[in-house]
Amino acid sequence: MVRTRFAPSPTGYMHIGNLRTALYAYLTARRNHGVFILRIEDTDQERNIPESLAAIYKSLKMAGLTYDEGPMKDGGYGPYVQSQRLPIYQEHAQRLLAKGDAFRCFCKKGDPSEEEESPSRRDPCRFLTQADIAEKMEAGEAFVIRQRIPDSGSTTFVDLVYGEITIENSQLDDQVLLKSDGYPTYNFANVVDDHLMGITHVMRGQEYLSSTPKYNLLYDSFGWTVPEYVHLPLIIKEDGSKFSKRLGDPSFEDLVKMGYLPEAILNYIALLGWSPGTDQEYFKLSELEEIFSIDRINKSSAAFSFDKLTWLNGEHIRAMTLDEFHTLAEPYYPEPLAGFNTTKISELLQVRTEKFTDIPGMVDFFVQVPEYDAEMYRHEKSKSDLDTSLDILKAVTPILDNLDPWNNDQLFQTLKAFGKEKSYKTGTVMWPIRTTLSGVMATPGGATALAEILGKEETLKRIKAGIEKLEAA
RNA sequence: GCCCCCAUCGUCUAGGGGACCAGGACGUAGCCCUUUCAAGGCUAAGACCGGAGUUCGAAUCUCCGUGGGGGCACCA
């Protein structure tokens, strides 16, 4: 039975790299009909942010990554919050102490021996006698528990993505397992918990690659078998630098606020470091659940491209039903738009929207025509200039005034016929109408679509305004 | 500094010894369609980091170099 886990620490937001780790772990579980677990790694008392637990749940829910076991969803391996597992780490640390694979260190954080160049092993406390230790403990000195790394030899492990990796033990330091506040470090807790929770595939960022041998040494000390390791390539920016929230790069929830669909974001990041091996790029989560495989994960870091995400977002938008799109688009419509048939507007918008946040700027003119230059009536491709525009606007006014019913099809047929009669290109007729109706160079939908939505009265009003503008020009 | 990892178009990638004068996608440019802009269709430009080897044959294997990234916390 495959068991994977996503083990975020509560930082308050979902980093894009973490989301991908979660996604891959989730997909690996689903693909293999296994179990996906959520574990909270809150072992840093200083960095804990209370409300960030809620943020994790919310993000996962928004992403659609449902977990089978986790806090408040016990699967028999809990608790799933590390701060609630302190006795477990204590007990395991004692076992290591007893075996001699760990030792107490009484050095203080700023001690010179702590500042040495790495590996900062050869810790003086390594060689403390039982009597020394007893004495210091008697005196109530604070201590941490460190892992005792063998002086010689090397440790080899196999990563499912990176292959076989060997590191000399001399390169490893006697890392802290238990802090002086009694909390475990990540280095210790992840090993204990991954084993106790029966994790079969440890999936995490590539930054853990070089500390993995230390974890393996721990597994060995406990006599446990090591899990499969799946280290994931980093996600970077297009300029090659790190993708980081602190440097202003968006988190998952930021991207959603920027107008990206969660499923499009998931789809996009699935492709950052993994490839299906086919030409397909548009995926729903459910499809990924069926085809994701670890052996198609890449080794090299991938740059996050907003351009491609934006495109994919558009693909997801276009794949929706009109109803779905309308529901999502509506909150982005400016208040005064409520008087119009917004469903019709959505229909025009769906094929042109890349991000939802673009919507307000695309529909502003419905509410009010912006200031624009009369030169806008000049359009080479439509064979339109100021004179033809004025003539057409004038000629078309009585025709539209008498038009019934007032709908796109009727408007288009009528205006097209008018153009044919007067030997105008359809575009020459439509250009000035669309322009006077909107005042902008590009609109969702053409002249007649806009006219339909604006209604007869408003359409004629705007045409009149256009005529006045052209006469003054 | 020491250790580890990585290296195909600007970007994501396919490729794993002959099917590759390297395929797809985003982006870019052009054309078509057209009631503006999109969407859609078509086309174009655009890459195997360098050098040695192995081999009849290397983008693919090996080594060296170079470049990039990561790690070396009582952070995860």
Return the DSSP state at A118. S
CA closest to B12 C1', residue: A272
Nucleotide nearest to A429 (CA to C1'): B35
Rounded (5°) CA angle A275-A194-A220 = 110
Asked if omega into A10 is within 30° of 0 (cis), the reply is no
Q: Report the distance from CA of residue A236 to the C1' of nucleotide B49 in Å, as an integer.
A: 20
Q: What percent of chain A is modeled with pLDDT above 70? A: 97
Task: Give the contacts of A456 (CB within 8 A, at least 6 positions apart).
Answer: A400, A401, A403, A406
Q: In degrees to the nearest 10, what's the CA dihedral of A295, A296, A300, A301?
A: -120
Tokens of residue A6, six digits: 């996503």
Tokens of residue A135, six digits: 């004495």
Cβ-defined contacts of A46-54 (< 8 Å, 24+): A47/A9, A47/A11, A48/A10, A49/A10, A49/A11, A49/A12, A51/A12, A52/A10, A52/A11, A52/A12, A52/A13, A53/A10
Rounded-to-integer distance, Cα A104 and Cα A136, Å: 10
Rounded-to-integer distance, Cα A377 and Cα A466, Å: 10
Residue A409: how many other CB atoms lie within 10 Å:
10
Query: Residue A410 — pLDDT band, cuts 50, 70, 90?
Result: very high
List strand B contacts in A 88-147 (CB < 7 A).
Answer: 107-109, 114, 117-120, 142, 144
List strand B contacts in A 314-333 (CB < 7 A).
Answer: 314-315, 318
Whole-number pLDDT of residue A117: 45
Return the DSSP state at A233. P
Beta bridge partners of A145: A104, A178
Q: Is A245 a catalytic residue?
A: yes
- Asked whether residue A234, judged by its CB, lies under 7 Å from any atom of the DNA or RNA strand B, the reply is yes
Kindly write down the DSSP assignment for every residue of A47-82, as one continuous string.
T--TTHHHHHHHHHHHHT---SBBTTB--SS---BG
Q: Report the distance from CA of residue A249 to the C1' of nucleotide B50 in Å, as an integer.
A: 34
Task: Give the contacts of A176 (CB within 8 A, at least 6 positions apart).
Answer: A105, A144, A145, A146, A147, A185, A187, A188
CA closest to B76 C1', residue: A186
Tokens of residue A90, six digits: 């204590």
Whole-number pLDDT of residue A154: 94
Tokens of residue A293, six digits: 């495989």
- Asked whether residue A298, judged by its CB, lies under 7 Å from any atom of the DNA or RNA strand B, the reply is yes
Strand B contact nucleotides, protein CB < 7 Å = 1-8, 10-15, 24-27, 34-40, 68-76
Q: Taking the model in full, what pTM does it have?
A: 0.94
pLDDT digits (tens, 9 = 90+) for A296-322: 999 999 999 999 999 999 999 999 999
- Asked whether residue A407, judged by its CB, lies under 7 Å from any atom of the DNA or RNA strand B, the reply is no
What does DSSP say about strands A144-147 and A102-105: parallel, antiparallel, or unpaired? antiparallel
List strand B contacts in A 207-226 (CB < 7 A).
Answer: 207-211
- Asked whether residue A236, judged by its CB, lies under 7 Å from any atom of the DNA or RNA strand B, the reply is yes
- Asked whether residue A233, judged by its CB, lies under 7 Å from any atom of the DNA or RNA strand B, the reply is yes
- Asked whether residue A382, judged by its CB, lies under 7 Å from any atom of the DNA or RNA strand B, the reply is yes
Q: Report the distance from CA of residue A268 to the C1' of nucleotide B9 in Å, as an integer.
A: 20
CA closest to B39 C1', residue: A351
The answer to whether A43 and A11 have CB atoms below 8 angstroms apart is no
Return the DSSP state at A281. -
List strand B contacts in A 411-430 (CB < 7 A).
Answer: 411-412, 416, 426-427, 430
Asked if omega into A276 is within 30° of 0 (cis), the reply is no
Backbone angles phi, psi at A403, to 5 degrees: -75, 135
Q: Report the distance from CA of residue A298 to the C1' of nucleotide B52 in Å, as an integer.
A: 28
Q: Which residue has the tokens 């996009």?
A: A268
Q: What ipTM does the predicted assembly reach?
A: 0.96
Q: Report the distance from CA of residue A303 to the C1' of nucleotide B68 in Å, as an integer.
A: 13
Q: Supply the mean pLDDT for chain A.
A: 93
Return the DSSP state at A32. T
- 3-state secondary structure string, A4-32? EEECCCCCCCCCHHHHHHHHHHHHHHHHC
The answer to whether A350 and A396 have CB atoms below 8 angstroms apart is no
Q: Report the distance from CA of residue A279 to the C1' of nucleotide B43 in Å, as an integer.
A: 20
Backbone angles phi, psi at A236, to 5 degrees: -120, 180
pLDDT digits (tens, 9 = 90+) for A107-154: 876 555 544 444 545 677 888 888 888 888 888 888 899 999 998 999
pLDDT digits (tens, 9 = 90+) for A271-296: 999 999 999 999 999 999 999 999 99
Nucleotide nearest to A303 (CA to C1'): B11
Q: Which residue has the tokens 């009528």?
A: A414
Active-site residue, from A245, A416, A425, A461: A245
pLDDT digits (tens, 9 = 90+) for A355-372: 999 999 999 999 999 999
Q: Report the distance from CA of residue A413 to the C1' of nucleotide B57 in Å, as an integer.
A: 66
